[in-house]
Amino acid sequence: MMRFILVGIIVAMVAGLGAMTVLSYRPFQSGEPYGAPFTLVDQKGAPITEAAFRGKPSIVFFGFTHCPEVCPTTLFEMAGWLKTLGNDGKNLNAYFVTVDPERDTPPVMNTYVSNFSDRIVGISGDPDKVHAMAKSFNIYWKKVDTGDGDYTMDHTASALLLNAKGEFSGTIAYGESADTAIAKLKRLAAG
């Protein structure tokens, strides 16, 4: 009997946690202003604000340089998409925002991002400011202890698409086909 009560309590706690997560997450809609004002630094150490996401459409990906698979794969794909688009994508900006600013300093970001493309700009900064920016963009991230004195980061794996006004315009999911991603970016660049 006690076992059934314990299982019932655990199920109720998990359901409650799931409900809180769903209720606290509100996806942005197309054409809606996205994110809050921020002041961070790019991979060269220069100040960068939300103004960087205005004037030209942007693809924005949040990740970290110690990421074993999702981040290097996504950045490799982003570089490929931009190259494939050629002149059709010349007005697109591309950004890689760290969710691990404690390790991902501007010099680390510069070395990492430069391995993929000179079209992608790395963004880092004060941890509290980086995390506030990620939160305002509805990005999930969580530091996860690996048990060996190190850690990894769980994080949203989709790239965000912002129009030239900095408004939400869609996403490219991790693992989405290159043809679909390129079609989305062509529409974004043309819009």
Is domain 31-190 given the CATH code 3.30.428.10 in the classification?
no
Phi, psi of 119, rounded to the nearest 5 degrees: -90, -15
Structure confidence by residue, pLDDT tens digits, 82-126: 999 999 999 999 999 999 999 999 999 999 999 999 999 999 999
pLDDT of residue 19: 36
User: What Å distances lie between residue 22 and 19, 25, 84, 183, CA to CA?
Assistant: 5, 5, 37, 30
CB atoms within 10 A of CB 101: 24
Structure confidence by residue, pLDDT tens digits, 24-56: 344 555 555 679 999 999 999 999 999 999 999
Of the candidates 154, 157, 190, the residue with the CA atom closest to the CA atom of residue 174:
157
Locate the domains of the chain by residue range: 31-190
pTM of the model: 0.83
